[in-house]
Amino acid sequence: MASMIRGDHTFEGDSDFDGMIKGDATLAAGARLRLQGMVKGDVIVLDGARLDLLGMVKGDLTVEQGGHAVVTGAVGGDIVNHGGTVNLN
């Protein structure tokens, strides 16, 4: 069964998560998150962080300078790129 995080969450270090985040997700500088599932909120990828998502972000995806996001799926809100790398498949 998939996991669920309720509320806003900041990921640090190297993480794998399979499930749903009901809130905003922030990837701290240097963090790496491999997520299979859905974020029912916004996602912010900070400098040096990397998001690999197989699924959906219902809110906005913001990638700061030096951040990387690879999304295989969909983003329901805006994609805001402040000088990072964004790949949407």
Average pLDDT over residues 67-84: 97
The number of domains in the chain is 1
Read off the pLDDT band of 2 (50, 70, 90).
confident
Q: How far apart are CA 85 and CA 22, in angstroms?
A: 25
The domain of 58 spans 3-79
Q: Is residue 75 part of a domain?
A: yes
Q: How far apart are CA 82 and CA 57, in angstroms?
A: 18
Q: Is residue 88 part of a domain?
A: no
Read off the pLDDT band of 34 (50, 70, 90).
very high
| Residue that the structure tokens 């995080």 belong to | 5
Identity of the residue numbered 66 = G
Average pLDDT over residues 23-49: 98
Instruction: Give one word for 83, left, alpha or beta, with left for phi > 0 and alpha for psi -120 to 50.
Output: left
Read off the pLDDT band of 7 (50, 70, 90).
very high
Q: Is residue 37 part of a domain?
A: yes
Q: Is residue 25 part of a domain?
A: yes
Read off the pLDDT band of 42 (50, 70, 90).
very high
Q: How much is the pTM?
A: 0.95
Average pLDDT over residues 59-81: 98
